[in-house]
Chains A and B, each alone.
Chain A
Amino acid sequence: MTTRWTRKDLLGLRELSADEINFILETADAFKQVGTREIKKVPALRGKTLVNFFVEPSTRTRTSFELAALRLSADVINLSATSSSLTKGETLKDTARNLEALHADILVLRHSSAGAPQFLANRLKASVINAGDGAHEHPTQALLDLYTIREKRGNIAGLRVAILGDILFSRVARSNIFGLLKLGAHVTLVGPSTLIPREFEKLGVQVSHKIDEVLPNADVVNLLRIQHERQRREYFPGIGEYIRLFGLTKERAKLLKPDCLIMHPGPINRGVEIDSVVADGLHSVILDQVTNGLAVRMAVLYLCGGISA
């Protein structure tokens, strides 16, 4: 490891180099080990204050960041859109400046608008970690996906990764595409044409609308949740139709290579994008992703938050 980390913020994977991504993954190895100790807490960020600011609802990502921060001995404050003054008309910038006036060192931001983390990172001394912004990026989710693939397969370069489902609205897909391509994987996007614009091919990925042709060659299948709450009718004929064409049913799972990994960022819609038996089956590394998310987030908080201001 010769790379040095110099960034105060983590806004996306698009701007990171392959070396920087690998450096985060190697740092996460050390923090994953901490989770196996009798005392699962280290003093690395003692005295630092982290604010979890989730303008969009999230349980899993927020708790993962919270536990990661607690294991690094940071103090944590959780704010949601309803518990902040955003509902009283305060601007995002003013809310953030108030947090800074409280001497917050790290701001973890989930926001419905793409670019909100960048906006704050440019204006605040505190480290800003993007926990998902609109349909833009969700870098820590992609990092934990990369970490899980690397852990299970030893390497990422050369692997065939299929990303399946709702690509158009997915910040998880975008961050994964940037990360996977930088580390040398081949990426194929699979789903209905309404949810995978041809524009994506410009990023250097392949696009397919035929799942049965993609599954037999895949080393990794990353399923994205069908986001009912964002879906408008014109994109989507109906759940039954989607399952028939793109659902990872137990019959389709038979097409997979024996060592193929099935991943899902959660929460899973059992019976929609994935059958229950497949989600709980041998291919599935969905719960490893949750464990690894903690290690990866500890690494990100340590690297960004540990840099002297």
Chain B
Amino acid sequence: MKQARQKTPGAAVLTMDAAAIDRALRRIAHEIVERNPQLTHVVLAGIPSRGVEIAQRIANFIHEIEKVSVETGVIDVAMHRDDVGTRSELPIVRESKLPLPLEERTVIVVDDVLYTGRTVRAAMDAISSFGRPARIQLAVLIDRGHRELPIRPDYVGKNLPTSGSEKVQVQLQETDHEPDEVRLEK
């Protein structure tokens, strides 16, 4: 789950810089190529907003590596969450865009941080309302642990052990207008 970005430089530990993020996403691209011989059947579906950007970057790396253009999409999870009405702030809904039909395709859900797994559950629920993909995989930049559902990622940029009180902050040039960076805030 994304947290509101807070600027408290004193308490933040830099976990990944731009070069590290770049290497991690490039490695994920290689792993996706290895595991999916039929790249033309793959859809990289990003969860707004940073997941969408990460999906695009992975697609660019796959194109560099294999010269294949993998399809990308957007999967909104806000209207599929199971906690509407219990949170003080209502999640903003965004338009989903997926190439159709999904049958025969492998949909790779892409997000910045994997935490409880509830967002990913909502994403799988949303995808199934578009059709029945052959398989769904999961790619995340950061896995910070603390799962509350039986969900595990297929592709991980970095495993980051955290405590529940810490916050993982991902910032990307395109979405946050700040240099790429992952910070762990106490």
Contacts from A to B (Cβ < 8 Å): 1, 4-5, 27, 29-34, 37-46, 48, 72, 299, 302-303, 305-309
Contacts and interface: CB of A to CB of B under 8 A. Distances in A.
Contacts of B165: none
A30 B129 contact: no
A30 B80 contact: no
Mostly, the B contact residues are loop
Interface stretch (B26-34, B92-100, B176-184): B92-100
B65 to A, nearest CB: 32
Contacts of A41: 129
A261 B102 CA distance: 36
Nearest to B101: A38
Size bin of chain B's contact surface: 20 to 34
B54 to A, nearest CB: 20
B129 A308 contact: no
B149 to A, nearest CB: 16
A141 B1 CA distance: 36
Given A38-B130, A303-B90, A30 B76 contact: yes
B6 interface: no
Nearest to B126: A42
B90 to A, nearest CB: 5
A34 B85 contact: no
Contacts of B129: 34, 37-42
Contacts of B84: 44-45, 302, 306
B96 A33 contact: yes
Contacts of B86: 308
A244 B88 CA distance: 56
Contacts of A299: 93
B90 A30 contact: no
Interface in B61-81: 76, 78-81
A42 B76 CA distance: 11
A31 B97 CA distance: 12
A27 B92 contact: yes
22 contacts: A27-B92, A30-B79, A30-B93, A30-B95, A34-B129, A37-B129, A37-B130, A38-B129, A39-B130, A42-B80, A43-B80, A48-B85, A72-B79, A302-B79, A302-B84, A302-B90, A302-B93, A306-B84, A306-B85, A307-B85, A308-B85, A308-B86
